[in-house]
Chain A
Amino acid sequence: KQEVTQIPAALSVPEGENLVLNCSFTDSAIYNLQWFRQDPGKGLTSLLLIQSSQREQTSGRLNASLDKSSGRSTLYIAASQPGDSATYLCAAMKTSYDKVIFGPGTSLSVIP
């Protein structure tokens, strides 16, 4: 069974720090991995989509990498800001079926 885990479950950092969120999946047969942000009481907003042929994607202060052989993806946030405070979820899309499996999320708090 595909499992997606995220470490840490919660993170609190002072404003300005660079930080890394981790996502691990048990099966390397994935074709896409997507990172989302969820603010309290809101829906999920797509941040970055990494296709299996890619190693990383960048958008502004965000950089996501994918290493299928080790079953890991990381989301790097540069120069964190209080507005980055949210829950970050990763989702893995496996080759053999049409379902998307979500990790439990990392709750990030950036302290001014």
Chain B
Amino acid sequence: NAGVTQTPKFQVLKTGQSMTLQCAQDMNHEYMSWYRQDPGMGLRLIHYSVGAGITDQGEVPNGYNVSRSTTEDFPLRLLSAAPSQTSVYFCASRKTARTGELFFGEGSRLTVL
């Protein structure tokens, strides 16, 4: 059972570079979301989607873009990486916005130099 799959697991970027973190789920979940986890800050919501073609901002959306062209995939794009975006990023999904357990991927550790 694949569940929620994130790639890459580790990435090092230079300031100003762009990249995309991939997230895919095979559970036919409508709801998908991206979090970042930083020491002392806990988990903070970046963007979320309640279904294909629908996205919305979370607590800390600046510097990130998302799109949801299919139910399965929810990529997170860093437009111009900054050292403040050094973090561990988690993708999560659940059946709908209001039902089901929230399932997490294993995380992507990003370092911006």
Contacts and interface: CB of A to CB of B under 8 A. Distances in A.
Given A98-B31, A100-B33, A105-B42, A44 B58 contact: no
B101 A34 contact: yes
Contacts of A99: 45, 48, 58
The majority secondary structure among interface residues of chain A is strand
Contacts, number: 44
A98 B90 contact: no
The majority secondary structure among interface residues of chain B is strand
Contacts of B45: 99-100
Interface residues of B, number: 22
Contacts of B43: 89, 102
A43 B106 contact: yes
A44 B104 contact: yes
A43 B104 contact: yes
Interface in A1-55: 31-32, 34, 36, 42-46, 49
B98 A43 contact: no
Contacts of A36: 104
Interface in A86-112: 89, 91, 93, 98-100, 102-105
Interface of A: 31-32, 34, 36, 42-46, 49, 89, 91, 93, 98-100, 102-105
